[in-house]
Amino acid sequence: MATPSTVPVPTPAFTDALNRLRTATQDHPTEFQWLGGIIAVFLLVLFMPVGVARFDNAVLEGLALLNGYAREHVMLCLIPAFFIAGAIAVFISQDAVMKYLGPAANKVAAYGVASVSGSILAVCSCTVLPLFGGIYRRGAGLGPAIAFLYSGPAINVLAIVLTAKILGVELGVARAVGAISFALVIGLIMNRIYHREEQTRAANQKGFALGADQGRPLGDTAAFFALMIAVLVLANWAPASAEDSAVWHAIFAWKWPLTALSSAGLAGLLMWRWRWRWEPLAGSAGAVAAMAWLVPHHPELAFSAGLIGLTLAAATQPGDGEEWLSQTWSFARLIMPLLLGGVLLAGFLLGRPGHEGIIPSEWVSAAVGGNSLAANFLSALVGAFMYFATLTEVPIVQGLIGAGMGKGPALALLLAGPALSLPSMLVIRSILGTQKTVVYCGLVVVMATLTGMVFGTFYP
């Protein structure tokens, strides 16, 4: 005869140990979070499929993308953008930002200024982040700030022209109309969703001190930012194809002399108009000239010397110079680790253009054919997570179209891809928080999907 099963009763010693563990967890949450993190990392390393060809290749692709990003974008794009973002926080008064971009500003003017100023920069989704953080922290309304965030990488005149030339006029026009519309519509939707929160934020900012413009003439401040933006744009001026305009080729041929001229203008403004100490700036000019003469085939070294000189000049200028450097460092400290980690992860998952990560490229090519909802959504979603350097999205889409991608999904990728990336999502979350980041990214993906479907219906 079978004996009835009994439920084991916890012993007093077990119950006491469980209570002690629960108490320790409540009293020292940080330590247990660290313990959980260490265990998770250990298990990840322990079961990592090292030796499997696809995994090893994906790791190399992540490192290769990170290496390329560091070589091509950090010194020329990202660090100048940090300096501009820091300057926004110091040299532009909060009163001016609130007047033109604040929650209570005229909507037509605010969204117009945000869209135009973002599109003039024509930077990638990562370079625009410090600038977005600068104007948002300075008091810009959420809607105009989001319009600026989207328009910077998406409304790129050269990229749109290149799209029309390589992928067809209809795709180029659709991309231009879609990108401009997205910047405005997404900004307005975000402002509407968080309208009450924005009202509270605006009310709290009324008591803030105005920016440290220290009574400088408006012309000096405008020239200061124009020269910094000129340095950023000219140093990253990309070569064009043989059939492009002579003006574009002339600017590219003279990009470094023009960059040096803009830098000299900035140094002169700081010395003679703002009365900064001349010794660090003169020493920087000498170092730049020496590097340009010694290694003329690596102008990025002379550019780096100029950045170091500007850093030293700001560090030795009490007051606004030190504050500028402090604000620049705060943006770099916040954004750089997330950005580099995100680039590494994006390379691991999707690889570089023309190469594969852990996700096979044929899966993507097979899934984005035709004009179905799934094809457009997947195209927008993959584009949103993948990192595109400026202008690289056009040859990538050209290759995908050759592999069977429909024109609708191609447009969805062009509208979502340049404006978003996994690295930019991580940084946007640190500025706006998780909820707003999810809503913004979701709006971009959904609108890109629907726009792609409509376009694919008329241009199958």
pLDDT tens track, the chain, 460 positions: 555 555 555 667 667 766 776 676 666 666 767 788 889 888 988 888 888 888 999 999 889 988 888 887 788 888 888 898 888 878 887 677 777 787 777 788 888 888 777 666 666 777 788 888 888 888 888 999 999 899 878 877 767 877 887 788 899 899 989 988 999 999 999 999 998 888 887 777 654 433 444 567 878 888 999 999 889 888 888 776 666 678 878 888 899 999 999 999 999 999 998 889 888 888 888 888 888 888 888 888 899 999 999 999 999 988 889 999 998 998 888 888 888 888 888 888 877 767 888 888 777 777 777 788 999 999 999 889 888 776 678 777 877 777 678 899 999 999 998 889 888 999 999 999 999 999 999 999 999 999 999 999 988 7
**Cα separation, 409 vs 379, whole angstroms:** 5
- Identify the residue whose tokens are 């440290």: 212
Element (H, E) at 151: helix 142-154
Q: What is the CA radius of gyration of the chain?
A: 25
Q: Are 373 and 453 in contact (CB under 8 A)?
A: yes
Q: Ramachandran region of residue 219, left (φ > 0), alpha (ψ -120 to 50) or beta?
A: alpha
Enumerate the β-bridge partners of residue 405: 369
Task: Give me the sign of the Cα torsion angle 203, 209, 213, 216.
Answer: positive
Handedness of CA 56, 61, 64, 65 (dihedral sign): negative
Q: Look up the pTM and report it.
A: 0.73
End-to-end CA distance of the chain: 75
- Identify the residue whose tokens are 């690295």: 423
Give the list of residues 6+ apart from residue 326 with CB closer than 8 angstroms, or none. 86
Rounded Cα–Cα distance for residues 225 and 319 (Å): 19
**3-state helix vs strand vs coil in the chain, percent to 5:** 75, 0, 25
- The CA-CA-CA angle for residues 182, 188, 86, to 5°, reads 85
